[in-house]
Amino acid sequence: MKKYFSFFRLRFTLGLQYRVAALAGIATQFAWGFMEVMIFAAFYRGDKNAFPMSLSATCSYIWLGQGFLAFFATWMMDNEIFDSILKGNIAYELCRPIDIYNIWFSKSVAVRLSRAMLRCFPILLVAAFLPDPYGLAKPESCLHFFLFILTLALGLLVTAAFCMLIYILTFYTISPQGLRILFTSAADFFSGGVIPLPFFPEPVQKIMELLPFAAMQNVSLRIYSGSMETDEMKKAILLQLFWLFILIFTGKILCRRAEKKITVQGG
């Protein structure tokens, strides 16, 4: 376990060095965040009572989503892992006394965490000073903030475990492009990355909340904005834990099977 933590710390420290890329990302996320806020504000001018969340809660959801985009964006994947599978460099990994799944999982979490650390503070700081209701509001209570931090961490782990499935399924394909487009598009839509889940019709929302995608960003952002009742929060956290176990368990099984069937051609 110590070697995986050491690798995690190494990758996290390395990720903090990409400050210019972080600045470019911050500018992009500010632009995208302001655009989303203006779009929703335009809809709310019609009939505020027609929406399941207040405009303030929706704006907080948007800014938190932008601040922690690196946690939940499934399209932010590691091309080094794909290259190691496609080009045969995976052979070097198999020669080392490590578990491939664990080392890749540690790397994925470290990279996402380092990216978020560089980007979230400037975005959330500016959003907190925007006029109400267009900025980042305070959490509903100390309990909501604590559960937000807890579910945020669980959402990060669920996202990393989900992306691990895409890496591992690459063993069974010629090119990962189709898998990446299919899985990332589904994750963005069903996780609430495009439209918050409460805005969907209630029958559809109930189904979407049971899927693993909802365990990514939907839970933590809605808890912070106060759009979840106590019973809903308990159920959502249990679902996060359930999907985290299922995704890791499935990923490890597929990874072990793939390791036994790997064929590396060339000298």
Whose CA is closest to 63, among 102, 97, 94, 32? 32
Q: How far apart are CA 62 and CA 40, in angstroms?
A: 10
Q: Is the pLDDT score of 265 beyond 70?
A: no
What does the pLDDT look like over 193-238, one tens digit per residue?
A: 888 998 898 899 999 999 999 999 889 999 998 888 888 899 999 9
Whose CA is closest to 221, among 205, 242, 198, 248? 198
What does the pLDDT look like over 115-172, one tens digit per residue?
A: 888 888 889 999 999 998 899 988 888 888 999 999 999 999 999 999 999 999 888 8
* pLDDT (0 to 100) of residue 263: 64
Question: What's the mean per-residue pLDDT of the chain?
Answer: 86
How many CB atoms within 10 Å of residue 93? Answer: 17
Phi-psi sector, 45: left (phi>0), alpha (psi -120 to 50), beta: alpha
CA 219 to chain centre: 11
How many CB atoms within 10 Å of residue 89? Answer: 13
Element holding 90 (H helix, E strand): helix 90-95
**pLDDT band, residue 3 (cuts 50/70/90):** confident
Mean pLDDT lowest among 54-68, 170-184, 226-240: 170-184
State the pTM of this model: 0.91
Q: How far apart are CA 45 and CA 250, in angstroms?
A: 46
**Token digits of residue 239:** 């679902």
